[in-house]
């Protein structure tokens, strides 16, 4: 059985090797959206598979999907008495453009100060390699053993929305069976602020299309006689929220899990005060649902946003048109235990009740993802908290994230597994932007946290 101290000692002694291994991987331009990078995608996948094979993983394979392959491997030597963890991360990266804004080329990894600069250094190769190196520390210092059973599933399509993952998981459901999923593709609140994200919001994304007159009309000749679809659209959208910023759609809050006093106390520790939100958004003032802090509103409360509006003439100058059509994209971020299908029913009911007979309407669904939440007092959440506290020497903040990670929703839906988000990206890592970097001391602490987490899981 691996010994924690020995593993931590190995990790400490191999700090530079770990960094160099990460450099090897980020040097490969695995841009999933670029059809010209298929060979590099394959190369990055093979690099991961080779690493896993080298650590004694079985069945390590680069498995094809409709587009980019999934790397799968398993290390089940801990045996049936120990938990089985499915580690998820991705080896693809965002395109590096605009290239001229990079201080050093995106695929020529460069260390400056405490940071390593390269596309993918943080999102998510840095997080993937942090876990891989924790496994290495445990395996190498423990005679080839691991304290837990471990399955690896690394996808190559996260940056393009994980289109092939659901099919892959449905096909491989049997061998992916695990107790929970550990997702490395996430971050903490600051280099000295360990945190654990225990909830993500879900998404329900719609398009409302209104049509009135059969064609665009002359607003002088017809204005006043018929209902203007753009005006009706404004009325419908305006009616979806009240003056307190609460969504008025029927049943919208019915399944919302209210925040406990403990959760609110934790969220209050998240270092995001009003000034932080103002600086981060550039908005002239904050606004939102009455009775909640901005951080609560943006991470732990559901909301409804208009994502797009289009109607009539939108060019320079004027055209006196009474538009025949008007369109809005709108989406709701959902929190546990809201269901996007039920939200849609509420929206349809609202439209049936409020759209006047003077327009026709159509509702399209573009995306639906359930919210996800890990119980804060679950065994794995407690173990993660302890591991982070030990690695950082301070109590981690349990926080929520307002976005939706498609893979998390898909893994819960297809495999029935909750995801624990345990990655160590920092807010200033320039994700999806020029000069992406990983903070190397944080990367190393991440390795340590993973070592501790697996040890704790193996003990329980």
**Shortest Cβ 417–a copy of itself spacing (Å):** 21
d(CA 34, CA 53): 28
Structure tokens at 460: 């329980």
Nearer to a copy of itself, 174 or 316 (CB): 316
Nearer to a copy of itself, 189 or 322 (CB): 322
d(CA 204, CA 331): 5
d(CA 38, CA 45): 11
Q: Give residues with Cβ within 8 angstroms of 285, minimum separation 6.
A: 278
Nearer to a copy of itself, 232 or 451 (CB): 232
d(CA 384, CA 188): 13
Nearer to a copy of itself, 143 or 291 (CB): 291
Nearer to a copy of itself, 84 or 299 (CB): 299
d(CA 211, CA 360): 5
Q: Is 82 helix (H, G, I), strand (E, B) or coil?
A: coil
Nearer to a copy of itself, 143 or 287 (CB): 287
**Shortest Cβ 325–a copy of itself spacing (Å):** 11
Q: Which residues pair with 367 in a beta bridge?
A: 205
**Shortest Cβ 448–a copy of itself spacing (Å):** 28
Residue 423: alpha-carbon gap to chain centroid: 11
Structure tokens at 459: 């003990």
> Are the C-beta atoms of residues 59 and 176 closer than 8 Å to each other?
no
**Shortest Cβ 215–a copy of itself spacing (Å):** 7
**Shortest Cβ 97–a copy of itself spacing (Å):** 17
d(CA 133, CA 435): 24
Nearer to a copy of itself, 310 or 351 (CB): 310
How many Å is the Cα radius of gyration of the chain? 24
**339: phi then psi, degrees, rounded to nearest 5:** -120, 120
- Which residue in the block uniquely carries the two structure tokens 């940071």? 115
d(CA 194, CA 398): 9
**Shortest Cβ 234–a copy of itself spacing (Å):** 4
**Shortest Cβ 245–a copy of itself spacing (Å):** 8
d(CA 176, CA 153): 8
**Shortest Cβ 404–a copy of itself spacing (Å):** 6
> Are the C-beta atoms of residues 399 and 189 closer than 8 Å to each other?
yes
Nearer to a copy of itself, 137 or 343 (CB): 343
Nearer to a copy of itself, 104 or 235 (CB): 235
Nearer to a copy of itself, 213 or 385 (CB): 213
Nearer to a copy of itself, 42 or 354 (CB): 354
> Are the C-beta atoms of residues 89 and 184 closer than 8 Å to each other?
yes
d(CA 269, CA 368): 31
**Shortest Cβ 330–a copy of itself spacing (Å):** 9
**Shortest Cβ 354–a copy of itself spacing (Å):** 11
> Are the C-beta atoms of residues 288 and 278 closer than 8 Å to each other?
no
**Shortest Cβ 167–a copy of itself spacing (Å):** 20
Angle value at C-alpha 163, between 160 and 167, nearest 5 degrees: 155
Strands 115-117 and 110-112: antiparallel
Residue 230: alpha-carbon gap to chain centroid: 34
């Amino acid at each position: 059985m691996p010994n924690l101290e020995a593993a931590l000692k190995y990790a400490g002694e191999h700090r530079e090797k770990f960094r160099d291994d990460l450099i090897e991987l980020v040097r490969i331009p695995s841009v999933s959206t670029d059809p010209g990078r298929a060979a590099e995608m394959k190369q990055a996948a093979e690099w991961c598979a080779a690493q896993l094979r080298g650590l004694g993983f079985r069945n390590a394979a680069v498995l094809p999907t409709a587009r980019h392959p999934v790397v799968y491997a398993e290390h089940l030597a801990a045996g049936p008495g120990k938990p089985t963890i499915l580690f998820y991360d991705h080896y693809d990266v965002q395109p590096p453009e605009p290239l001229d804004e990079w201080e050093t080329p995106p695929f020529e990894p460069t260390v400056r100060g405490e940071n390593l600069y390269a596309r993918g250094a943080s999102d998510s190769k840095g997080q993937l390699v942090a876990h891989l190196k924790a496994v290495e520390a445990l395996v190498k210092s423990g005679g080839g053993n691991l304290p837990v059973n471990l399955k690896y599933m690394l996808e190559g399509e996260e940056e393009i929305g994980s289109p092939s993952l659901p099919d892959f998981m449905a096909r491989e459901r049997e061998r992916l069976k695990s107790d929970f999923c550990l997702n490395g593709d996430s971050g903490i609140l600051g280099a000295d602020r360990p945190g654990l994200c225990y909830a993500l919001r879900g998404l329900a994304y719609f398009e409302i299309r209104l049509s009135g007159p059969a064609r665009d009309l002359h607003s002088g000749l017809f204005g006043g006689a018929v209902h203007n679809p753009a005006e009706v659209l404004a009325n419908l959208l305006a009616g979806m929220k009240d003056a307190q910023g609460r969504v008025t759609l029927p049943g919208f809050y019915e399944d919302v899990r209210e925040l406990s006093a403990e959760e609110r106390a934790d969220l209050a520790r998240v270092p995001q005060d009003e000034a932080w939100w103002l600086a981060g958004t550039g908005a002239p003032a904050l606004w939102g649902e009455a009775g909640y802090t901005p951080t609560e509103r943006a991470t732990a409360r559901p909301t409804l946003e208009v994502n797009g509006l289009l109607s009539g003439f939108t060019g320079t100058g004027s055209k006196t048109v009474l538009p025949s059509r008007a369109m809005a994209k709108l989406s709701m971020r959902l929190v546990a235990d809201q269901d996007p299908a039920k939200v849609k029913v509420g929206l349809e009911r609202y439209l049936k009740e409020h759209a006047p007979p003077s327009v026709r309407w159509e509702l399209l669904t573009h995306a639906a993802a359930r919210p996800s939440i890990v119980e804060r007092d679950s065994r794995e959440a407690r173990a993660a908290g302890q591991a982070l506290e030990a690695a950082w020497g301070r109590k981690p903040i349990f926080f929520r994230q307002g976005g939706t990670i498609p893979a998390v929703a898909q893994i819960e839906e297809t495999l029935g597994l909750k995801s624990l988000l345990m990655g160590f990206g920092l807010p200033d890592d320039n994700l999806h932007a020029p000069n992406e970097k990983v903070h190397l001391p944080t990367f190393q602490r991440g390795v340590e946290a993973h070592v501790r987490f697996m040890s704790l899981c193996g003990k329980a």
